[in-house]
Amino acid sequence: MNNQLISTKCVDTFTTLEAGLNELTPKMIRESINDIEKLMLAAPAADKVAIETIHNFADNVYTRTVFMKAGSLITGKIHKLEHVVIIGQGSASVISEEFGAKVIQAPMVFVSRPVVKRMLFVHEDMVWTTVHQNPTNTRDLDELEKLLILPDYEQLPQGDDKCHGSQQA
């Protein structure tokens, strides 16, 4: 999850998007998430809430755990590679181009496809952990970000859109 894009003021826009998802294509959902994220970025600092994040490392493995507060609206990062997600606590409504909208609730484990951006409205305080490959065993978070994350969809090589298909969460 992206710890800089949390707002408690954009929920109405999320709810409107969630209600109209059946009429949207995956591309339109992606664009809508990006549009809401821009609103969140423009929100005053007072409307944003910090997320506690813990980073752990093992041989060739990196985990990132974020603690999200109930009532928060959050956008995730665009991961380059498939990875495991563990929901250890809480529940949230999730929107993505991959599966539309659904409610997820702990305990839950799923494999996240690459190149998927999600938006969550957190109903109950949530603990979300991602488990990633770390082939260089780096502990440098900036280096890991370059290895694992696309800054935006414009960085995606043309024709390399692997996110569509069925998924558990």
Residue 166, pLDDT score: 35
The tally of domains found in the chain comes to 1
Residue 5, pLDDT score: 46
Cα dist from 96 to 28, 45, 124, 164, whole Å = 10, 26, 19, 10
Give the chain's residues under pLDDT 50: 1, 3-5, 163-169
Q: Is residue 156 part of a domain?
A: no
Residue 160, pLDDT score: 52
Residue 156, pLDDT score: 67
CATH of the domain at 89: 2.60.120.10
- Give the type of residue at 155: Q
pTM of the model: 0.82
Residue 165, pLDDT score: 37
Place of tokens 């859109």: 161
Q: Is residue 80 part of a domain?
A: yes
Q: Is residue 72 part of a domain?
A: yes
What b/e readout covers 122-144, taking b as 16+ CB neighbours within 10 angstroms? bbeebbbbbbbebeeeeeeeeeb
Residue 50, pLDDT score: 82
Spell out the residues 6+ positions from residue 4 whose beta carbon is closer than 8 angstroms to its own. 41, 48
Residue 3, pLDDT score: 40
Number of alpha carbons in the 13 Å side-chain half-sphere of residue 63: 15
Q: Is residue 160 part of a domain?
A: no
Q: Could you tell me the residue range of the domain that residue 22 belongs to?
A: 6-151
| Whole-number Å distance between alpha carbons of 25 and 21 | 8
